[in-house]
Amino acid sequence: MPNYSAADIKALREETGAGMMDCKKALDESNGDMEKAREWVRLRGLAKAEKTADRETKEGYIAFYVHSNNKIGALVEILCETDFVARNAEFQEMARNVAMQVVSMGPASVEELLAQDFIKDPSQTIESLVKGLSGKIGERFVVRRFVRYEVGGE
């Protein structure tokens, strides 16, 4: 008899966006421990993202973020495999979060950006944020480039 209920599967699915069977397997593997199940789902998403690393990215989305003082802003180009994913609200929200990171932290390169702790959740890096959604959706994502503007800056 499992140590979890259908409500636990539903809660894990709503929280992580993983499929029902993945949530069931995560809860099976973790003996009903929600925290361990979340980690199992996250790691599985990263593993799925690694499998897409050689795929071509021809589509994408340009996200922007302007700080509330209207003096600092950023544009970020994130590539994906299909236009369907480029129009996905979750993909666009992730891209906007990356643009917010650029405004807040001012990285000098894409590599530096990917290595930074995510300002909304320091337990993960920007790279793990991008790869996590990539694994969940099943397409390769590439943070291609960004530009940061500041009033009076160079």
DSSP letter for 138, please.
T
Superfamily covering domain 59-150? Elongation factor Ts, dimerisation domain (3.30.479.20)
pTM of the full predicted structure? 0.71
> How high is the pLDDT of residue 36?
87
Task: State the DSSP string of 21-73.
Answer: HHHHHHHHHTTT-HHHHHHHHHHHHHHHHHHTTTS---EEEEEEEE-TTSSEE
Domain map (residue ranges) of the chain = 6-51, 59-150
> How high is the pLDDT of residue 152?
86
CATH number 1.10.8.10 given to 6-51:
yes
pLDDT tens, 19-58? 777 788 888 888 888 888 888 877 776 556 566 666 677 8
